[in-house]
Amino acid sequence: MDEFERQLAEKNARLVELYEEHLHDIQWVQAQLNTRDSENVDVDEHDDELESDGGFIFRMLRKHDFARENALNGVRNAAQRSLDPLPTHEPIIEILEQSSSDTHLVCTASLAQISSATPDELKPRILAACRDIRAALARRNGHNLQFVLLLDVQGAVPAPSLAYELVPWYVREVHPVFPGMCAAVLVRGYGWAHAGVWAVVRRLLPASAVTRVLFPTATELDAFLARSAPPPSSSPSTHLTIDTTHIQHHSSHQHRSSTSASSPVSPLAPRSHLNPTYGYRPGRRRKRDLARTLLHLWLLRWRKKMAAWSVFGVIWMLLVLSRRLRVPVT
């Protein structure tokens, strides 16, 4: 087991211990939901759905420092928000419900598939993904309290504008409704081209959330995926086969992507804004390309000031030279 997996297991053990310690608080909130007297039948139906989700109630209690009344209000607000209809879209996060992880539900997502979408298109899809993950955690019957997201950023076009709008919206609107579900985000395919976007995200996220974003090596992620693969079964279901195929081919897909990088696969210019490896030609990773790109970026940043100072310097030199060559009038 790798270091980041040990850390996740230790955090999960502390979380389970905390869950058992505050089991009476969870039962109190469930009892209050069970004895509610509300005229809004729709909210009551969603309360019924959340009432049996002990993990969700525990996460809400934990968010409110185990203040029962505040947590109860949080659950009711979440039930009210669940009434909002969402348009039907293709899921942006795949939930591996048949994974054999002992501590966390495993989910996967690829930024390359959604990097061209607008914030208004992504917001309802993110909300739908959070609802699906909460329901998937509830179906685990207390087996998992949190999920781990494997986020593949390889091939994604860096989009800081998306981060500026989506991250504050998520912290302000989504996290209060679905608190504490994510144990960690394991980033795959991260390169220096994504450093600018990560710098933006890191400033926008709370400090506690930043510590959950991890950058394991490809070998560590492959081992984690192999250990999280669904166990073999004599009569696997269709859903199990789909999940298994996704996990088994995840590593091979990355291998094919890295292998295909050895030959030009795109006519994009090295410094095109659509090039995910900005400054490099396809299949080339040379230090002089990096130096040339840094010089290019430096010139883009300072060329106007350099031009202004150059003009000023030339004028000053001409004035000095004219004074020296001036012949005194007698």
Do the bridges between strand 105-110 and strand 94-96 make them parallel or antiparallel, or are there none, so unpaired? antiparallel
Are 106 and 25 members of one domain?
A: no
What total number of domains does the chain contain? Answer: 3
Question: Which tokens go with 276?
Answer: 């995910």
Q: How far apart are CA 1 and CA 8, in angstroms?
A: 11
Instruction: Please tell me whether the overall predicted TM-score, pTM, comes out greater than 0.75 for this model.
Output: no
More confident residue, 320 or 284: 320
Q: Kindly state whether residue 37 falls inside one of the protein's structural domains.
A: yes
Half-sphere exposure of 103 (CA within 13 A, CB side): 20
Are 109 and 174 members of one domain?
A: yes
Are 322 and 228 members of one domain?
A: no
Are 180 and 249 members of one domain?
A: yes
Are 48 and 141 members of one domain?
A: no
Q: How far apart are CA 245 and CA 239, in angstroms?
A: 10
Domain extent, residue 163, equals 89-254
Q: What is the per-residue pLDDT for 64?
A: 94
Are 34 and 175 members of one domain?
A: no
Domain with 121 in it: what CATH number? 3.40.525.10
Give the DSSP letter string of 63-110. HTTT-HHHHHHHHHHHHHHTTS-------SSEEETT---SS-EEEEEE
Residue 277 has pLDDT above 50, yes or no: yes
Q: What is the per-residue pLDDT for 218?
A: 84
Are 52 and 181 members of one domain?
A: no
- Give the residue from 272, 315, 271 showing the smallest Cα distance to 289: 271
Are 193 and 54 members of one domain?
A: no
Half-sphere exposure of 217 (CA within 13 A, CB side): 5
Domain boundary among 84, 115, 145: 84
Task: Tell me the one-letter amino acid at 198.
Answer: W
- Give the residue from 226, 156, 221 showing the smallest Cα distance to 188: 221
Q: What is the per-residue pLDDT for 304?
A: 86
Q: Kindly state whether residue 263 falls inside one of the protein's structural domains.
A: no
13: left (phi over 0), alpha (psi -120 to 50) or beta: alpha
